[in-house]
Structure 1
């Protein structure tokens, strides 16, 4: 019997496979698709995701192939792209985005990894290659789950090898549904709840040299207001070899009303694309046109017995904010160590009950934020007062008020600038991306209040309170070598970080390490196994020199102690509680 069957070979499934491989969990991944995504789809990879991908040994490849940091510092707003006058393509708004390409001190202080950008069409082959390297012969594309049944001990699945028509049976203790909700969730009767069909979008993936029109190499996403049509469009460079204005490929999103038949006709969409961008005769090649509707939905449950839902099978987001793929990868990071702990007899199966209460609130908020980000673009567009169906010159007169410098236009220009500044709720939602917290039976609270945050969307405030992500800090060893505190957490193992006077905690951890996967280290500014030269860890740890923090394998703080009283008993009790164990092993 396998430990785990993974159904689906996208971001969630491939990440789960890689993580389970590193944790020594026997598994098989099947995907009904013949290959990885042929669509650019999601492209922004946030800091939390890059930490996970760094653990898997592929972050450097992703950074090398992704957008250079200096070419993803901003999002820009423009009056169209190209046209007969100099006003076409004029920029009228700019917002720092995702840590400003490494220039933001707050983002640099949050993690040793920076945000990056790589389209899913190019990311997934990297994930797949690494998954195959870690689990040879266990990553099977073109293999489709056709039926499955569950019982008290596991899951029995029938898989069709689509190329040959051969079917085979798989028996596994657990099944991970990473199939976008196409098969597993539907058969279990899982209901997706939330807002649907908020807008209809046609997305065009194309190749063209737009360097003569798309200026500002530091801008990643271009939001186009189109006075000549009264509509709008969004442009994102797709590389692959150059980025910014020199990108060889682009994705352009066009909005259509739900009852507009033009959006269903490829030729009409291609014509609308040329009109929107002002490129009537410019050479371009359309690779693919896809259609989708903006929705924000969350599954009514993330677990059904021995089946767990991850990624799009559990939650689907508008692309605004780039939270969908990142949430999927982070689902896998939350669940994988728990499965390994149970399968390796380090935890009771009750630990698996914490997956839904931890991930569902986080992803539900991500879905809500994605919808709010999408709707806020409507507010920004309305502030510009460009009217669909109006005479183009009327729209242009209105748009030129943004840069006229006339006193009578000052309030209008100010209102538009303020609306654009509000888009920091999408491009600088640092606490949403990185500062989310967990509350479940796998977290032991210490009675301290949640830190006050004047802006819980934009401001991430590091702290080592139970339930919070492990704060980033640069540490030094006795040879002066620098390393991030995150690197001390080893795959599938807990880490006890004691203060400089926490010798008793470390001795207790050494005794308990025979029963649980547990490491320990002392960290202090002047003394310890590792030094905290900038006092960053000392500032965030929330305890004195003799206290300690227990970190889970997914780098979330699970427990914190202020004093070393009866250390072995305290630590043992905390681990038992986190791992769902009724008695000491």
Structure 2
């Protein structure tokens, strides 16, 4: 018997295992494969995910192994990579991406954590090692059947090393297996866009330093006149990045009806032709169809779906893996609170209304980003139906009379590489959020502009406090945090009383510029806190604002007890 059985050892499952173990919950993670992913897969890790990885104790390792910030500050568009024509490899557009390696002030002001870049083949072993340090993890163990009743879930599991079959009884089950077993077992259907495009990904070792010359460019969008198609090239490390990267990932885009995509030899030929290279070692070739789908439900009784089991995204924008990690962060504190007897079962009903709209928006954004690349290719005039000379003629107009059109086409991709409000500014609305009746502030660009605030449902705004402490570090695992203004002493006393009366972990601090438990030297917290010096904000363990009082209350202890009782479905 275990509290939580986690099926699947990718980003969602391993994150959930670590979070629950840190909160004292007994877990068992099983994974059908014998090892972590052999495919590079996702690589971009946004600020919210890196905050969570900081909670897990792995952020330093991810930053150390990943791309240095100055080598992931830009993305750029090129006329191929290498070839006989003198315009091969010529750039026709670039832009900053994902906070420009910390140089974009808006991104630096949003979080104590910079984004990172580390392919999943190198991220998952870090997660797995941490999960094994804290909990029970079994790879090469495959779930073959699931049944549930009012009290728990029974899973039948095959130990593929020994051939032994055994059963595990758990209070709850998390489906983190990409939709392989758990979703179909509970009758979940996926809804949305399918077969947006067909892609073949090649993971290779090659010396491309003479042609991939820009050290600050992370992703290279290659428009190939010899093929009339586009491709995507990105470094994969592991020890060097930028032009000197030892390994690379190359994505070849094919039409859905192109049979060459199914022929390994033809794809390898296309890859070598596209990159203009002969000397390379091809490690692995994988085929996949771009789709944007969301599960019709994220929960069925005691079974929850996370990550690719609940939503699958096109890779454009890098939202998929990040959403998987953030699913786990949303759900795990709630599970722990219920299992520890601090919350009512109904708290778990808030997982789907909070995460499904958020991830559905992510999926839609990723689809729109993918389609925008197709529009750019068409706008540049490339086509596989044209000769190489005709495609070159179309591309050369980019540096001539169609330069302004190309500039606008490239600029449109800021909705992918600067979608800060999508990555960081998403908000929640559920029974675990107590509205104060205020409306969201008007946002002139809800994709790109993240506007920090403390309206209930908002993510906790970032501010550096005295002694270099970020506000996020005041929120401890599994614990609520009440942040009061300078004169909010009554709120601190109320938090202490509510914690005792309800047996709920609540920390409380005052933050102010001149007075408080922590000082706000740059007035960064004051700029976004949205309360007076006698007000208070209640922050959930996942660092989302649950409730606020802009000023003092007649009976702060009674109000706070009522608020926590409602949030925790007591």
Q: TM-score, normalised by structure 1?
A: 0.96
Distance 2:383 2:504 in 1: 64
Looking at structure 1, the residues matched to 385 and 205 of structure 2 have their Cα atoms a distance apart, in angstroms, of: 29
Q: Is 1:341 aligned to residue 327 of structure 2?
A: no
Q: CA deviation at 1:23?
A: 0.5
Map of 2:326 onto structure 1? 330
Match of 2:186 among 182, 185, 188: 188
Once the two structures are superposed, what CA deviation does each residue of 1:26-81 show, in whole Å capped at 9, x if it has no partner? 11000111000000000000000000000111101100000000000111000000
TM-score by length of 2: 0.99
Deviation of the 1:382 alpha carbon: 1.4
- Segment of structure 1 superposing worse, 158-167 or 393-402: 393-402
SS in 2 for 1:497: strand
Residue 370 of structure 2 corresponds to residue 370 of structure 1: no
Deviates more, 1:390-399 or 1:78-87: 390-399
Asked whether 1:563 is paired with 2:528, we answer no
* Superposed displacement of residue 389, structure 1: 2.2
Pairing 1:195-344 to 2, within 5 Å after superposition: 195-279=193-277, 282-344=278-340
> Which residue is equivalent to 1:423?
413
Q: Does 2:521 match 1:533?
A: yes
Q: Deviations over 1:415-443 (max 9, x none)?
A: 11101100000000000000000000000
Q: Which residue of 1 aligns with 2:157?
A: 159
Who is 1:48 aligned against? 48
* Alignment correspondent of 1:471: 461
SS at match of 1:198: strand
- Name the structure 1 match of 2:533: 545
Find the aligned partners of 1:160 and 1:414 in 2 and give their Cα distance: 60
- 1:508 corresponds to 2:481: no
Measured in 2, the distance between the counterparts of 1:390 and 1:148 equals 53
In 2, the alpha carbon distance for the partners of 1:470 and 1:341 equals 20
Counterpart position of 1:76: 76
Is the deviation greater in 326-335 or in 145-154? Answer: 145-154
- CA distances 1:277-334 after superposition (whole Å, capped 9, x unpaired): 222xx31011111101110000000000000000000000000000000000000000
> Deviation string for 1:444-477 (max 9, x for gaps)?
000111011100000101001100000000111x
Distance 2:552 2:227 in 1: 69
Corresponding residue for residue 574 of structure 1: 563
Residue 471 of structure 2 is aligned to residue 519 of structure 1: no
| Alpha-carbon distance in structure 2 between the residues aligned to 1:434 and 1:363 | 12
Looking at structure 2, the residues matched to 141 and 290 of structure 1 have their Cα atoms a distance apart, in angstroms, of 22
Match of 1:145 in 2: 143
Q: Deviations over 1:125-150 (max 9, x none)?
A: 00000000112xx1000111111210
CA offset digits 1:196-218 (Å, max 9, x no partner): 01111111111100001111110
Instruction: Please report how far the alpha carbon of residue 507 of structure 1 lies from its aligned counterpart in structure 2 after TM superposition.
Output: 0.5
* Inter-partner Cα distance in structure 2 for 1:398 and 1:15: 47
CA contact (8 A) 2:146 2:185 kept: no
Equivalent residue number for residue 413 of structure 1: 403
Rounded Cα–Cα distance in structure 1 between residues aligned with 2:284 and 2:383: 29
SS of residue matched to 1:259: coil
Q: Greater shift after overlay, 243-252 or 434-443? A: 243-252
Distance 1:5 1:391 in 2: 56
Q: How many Å separate the matches in 1 of 2:385 and 2:557? A: 73
Q: SS state of the match for residue 439, structure 2?
A: coil
Say if 2:479 is the partner of 1:498.
no
Equivalents in 2 of 1:363, 1:168: separation in Å? 34
1:489 aligns with 2:475: yes
Q: Structure 2: any 5+ residue segments left out of the alignment?
A: none
Aligned to 1:17, what secondary structure does the other structure show? Answer: helix
Distance 2:326 2:489 in 1: 34
Give 1:395 deviation, angstroms. Answer: 1.7
| 1:387 shift after superposition | 2.4
Determine the C-alpha separation between the residues in 1 that align with 2:164 and 2:383.
57
- Which ranges in structure 1 are unaligned for 5 or more consecutive residues? none
Verify: 1:433 aligned to 2:440, yes or no: no
Matched, 1:105 2:105: yes
In the alignment, does 2:385 pair up with 1:389?
yes
Q: Distance in 1 between matches of 2:70 and 2:149?
A: 53
CA deviations on 1:214-267 (whole Å, 9 max, x unpaired) are 111100000001112211111011000111111111111111122221111111
Q: How far off is 1:495 after superposition?
A: 0.2
